[in-house]
């Protein structure tokens, strides 16, 4: 098995990280206090109680119920900055060099907070991560799939200045997967793509949903990356396609265990993906909820795949760099 020191030194990229999912209980309660937010009846009352709840979730929806309550404590531009900055400070120490991070504007606009407030706070933290740590980053705006597509179109309109000027680099799709398949969002993706030819497209698919949702995201939404995508393992033709087109899957091992998609990291089809040359990166998803940041993810995977040598890990790190949306100059600097 490779050492933690080796994994620490590997230049690591994160492609699947929800900024709202970095809200640690020890920031959640102080922010609730600072912003006079009353947490709902029955919500854990202390950091310890909340950490206890986060030990296991029944499924994606059980987690999302907590996650959306958490987001409610974020109000001011400073709150969004503080959240993202706390994240960058942590992962800088873990050898992260590039981060493509999600956020959910609709979790905030639905509470009367403007896209501008959220985006500017997060962007300011990204700028500081670059100036202080040399970490490059991209913002990916996600649409919440439980929200009506018509509403999502309005969100895209509100985000138009940031899509046009490149502050938002990519569009994603998250939240409850099974009841809300990709085809519902064809118009949204088409609209967003028409605003800026450089806008990248991705979507959560094949996390709890079937391999068909992965194919549909590729065919109907024209995405060039798939978030999770582990259920692609059950469709041989799809695996060939992902390999042929070098479409990257952003895998989140600790998330899959905590949400009971698999019972252990060793069950993940990572060896199959390597053997079939399906590119993937390893990611932390919602680290405050799932028990680990990027180095913890790499370390856990190394324990569950102990036969992977330095060369295999080098290949994984290189695939993550190659699949990133940074420019070629930055990629070549990292490779
Ligand atoms: C998410 Cl793990 C996951 N899946 C879908 N949507 C999400 N939002 C935040 N984490
Ligand atoms: Zn996710």
Model pLDDT for residues 93-152, shown as the tens digit of each residue: 999 999 999 999 999 999 999 999 999 999 999 999 999 999 999 999 999 999 999 999
Using CB distances shorter than 6 Å, the residues near ligand 1 are 18, 21, 60, 67, 174-175, 204, 207, 255, 285-286
Whole-structure pTM value: 0.98
- The SS3 of residue 147 is coil
Expressed in angstroms and rounded, the spacing between residue 174 Cα and the centre of ligand 1 is 6
Ligand 1 atom nearest to CA at 204: 5
The H-or-E segment that residue 30 falls in is helix 25-34
Question: Is residue 310 very low, low, confident or very high in pLDDT (cuts 50, 70, 90)?
Answer: very high
Alpha carbon distance 278, 235 (integer Å) = 13
Interatomic CA distance for residues 224 and 239, integer angstroms: 14
Q: What is the mean pLDDT of residues 77-90?
A: 98
Mutate which of 58, 174, 177 for ligand 1 pocket (most atoms within 8 A of beta carbon): 174
**Cα dist from 56 to 51, 67, 257, whole Å:** 10, 13, 9
Which distant-in-sequence residues (6+ apart) come within 8 Å of 71 by Cβ? 20, 23, 104, 107, 108
The CATH classification number of 4-329 equals: 3.20.20.140
Residue 165 Cα to ligand 1 middle (Å): 27
Closest residue (by CA) to atom 4 of ligand 1?
175
Q: Report the pLDDT value the prediction gives residue 161, as an integer from 0 to 100.
A: 98
Binding residues: 16, 18, 204, 285-286
ipTM score assigned to the predicted complex: 0.97
On the CB side of 264, CA atoms within 13 Å amount to 6
DSSP code per residue over 252-273: -HHHHHHTTSSSSGGGSTHHHH
Of all protein residues, the one whose alpha carbon is nearest to atom 8 of ligand 1 is 175
pLDDT for residue 249:
98
Mutating to test ligand 1, I would choose from 175, 253, 255, 259 the residue with most ligand atoms within 8 A of its C-beta, which is: 175
Average pLDDT over residues 317-335: 96
The residue whose CB lies within 8 Å of the most ligand 1 atoms, and thus the one to mutate among 285, 289, 292, 297, is 285
Give pLDDT, residue 47: 97
Ligand 1 atom nearest to 290, measured from its CA: 2
Q: pLDDT tens-digit profile of 201-235?
A: 999 999 999 999 999 999 999 999 999 999 999 99
Picking from 72, 68, 71, 67, the residue whose alpha carbon sits closest to that of residue 37 is 72
Q: Given this model, what pLDDT does residue 271 score?
A: 98
pLDDT of residue 326: 95
Q: For ligand 1, atom 3, name the residue with the nearest CA.
A: 175
Q: How confident is the model at residue 59 (pLDDT cuts 50, 70, 90)?
A: very high
What ligand has the least distance to the C-alpha of 60? 1
Can you tell me whether residue 204 is helix, strand or coil?
strand
Name the DSSP class of 20. Answer: G
User: For the chain, what percent of residues have pLDDT higher than 70?
Assistant: 100
Core vs surface per residue 282-297: b (16+ CB within 10 A) or e? bbbbbbbbbbbbbbbb
Q: Kindly give the distance from the C-alpha atom of residue 311 to the centroid of ligand 1, in angstroms, as a whole number.
A: 31
At 17 the three-state DSSP class reads strand
Catalytic residue (one of 207, 236, 267, 311):
207
* Structural domain boundaries in the chain: 4-329
pLDDT given at position 268: 98
207 is catalytic: yes
Instruction: Tell me the C-alpha distance between 270 and 278, whole Å.
Output: 9
Q: Exposed e or buried b for every residue in 17-48, given b needs 16+ CB within 10 A? A: bbbbbbbbbebbbebbeeeebebeeeebeeee
169-211 tens-digit pLDDT: 999 999 999 999 999 999 999 999 999 999 999 999 999 999 9
């Amino acid at each position: 098995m490779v050492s933690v020191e080796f994994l620490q030194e590997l230049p690591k990229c994160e492609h699947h990280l929800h900024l709202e999912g970095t809200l640690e209980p020890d920031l959640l309660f102080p922010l609730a206090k600072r912003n006079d937010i009353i947490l709902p009846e029955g919500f854990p009352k202390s950091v310890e109680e909340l950490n206890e709840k986060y030990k296991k979730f029944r499924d994606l929806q059980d987690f999302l119920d907590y996650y959306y309550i958490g987001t409610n404590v974020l109000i001011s531009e400073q709150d969004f900055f503080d959240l993202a900055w706390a994240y960058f400070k942590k992962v800088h120490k873990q050898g992260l060099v590039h981060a493509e991070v999600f956020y959910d504007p609709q979790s905030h606009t639905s509470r009367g907070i403007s896209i501008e407030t959220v985006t500017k706070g997060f962007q300011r933290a990204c700028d500081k991560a670059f100036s202080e740590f040399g970490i490059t980053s991209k913002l990916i705006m996600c649409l919440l799939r439980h929200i009506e597509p018509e509403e999502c179109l309005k969100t895209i309109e509100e985000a138009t200045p940031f899509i046009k000027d490149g502050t938002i680099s990519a569009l994603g799709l998250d939240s409850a997967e099974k009841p809300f398949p990709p085809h519902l969002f064809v118009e949204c993706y088409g609209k967003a793509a028409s605003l800026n030819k450089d806008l990248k497209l991705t979507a959560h698919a094949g996390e709890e949903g079937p391999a068909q949702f992965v194919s549909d995201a590729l065919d109907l939404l024209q995405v060039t990356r798939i978030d999770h995508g582990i259920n692609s393992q059950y469709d041989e033709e799809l695996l060939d396609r992902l390999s042929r087109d070098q479409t990257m899957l952003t895998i989140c091992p600790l998330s899959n265990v905590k949400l009971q998609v698999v019972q252990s990291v060793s069950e993940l089809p990572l060896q199959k993906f390597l053997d079939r040359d399906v590119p993937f990166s390893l990611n932390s998803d919602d680290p405050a909820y799932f028990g680990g940041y990027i180095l913890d993810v790499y370390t856990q995977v190394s324990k569950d795949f102990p036969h992977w040598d330095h060369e295999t890990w080098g290949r994984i790190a290189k695939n993550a760099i190659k699949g990133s949306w940074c420019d070629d100059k930055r990629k070549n600097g990292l490779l």
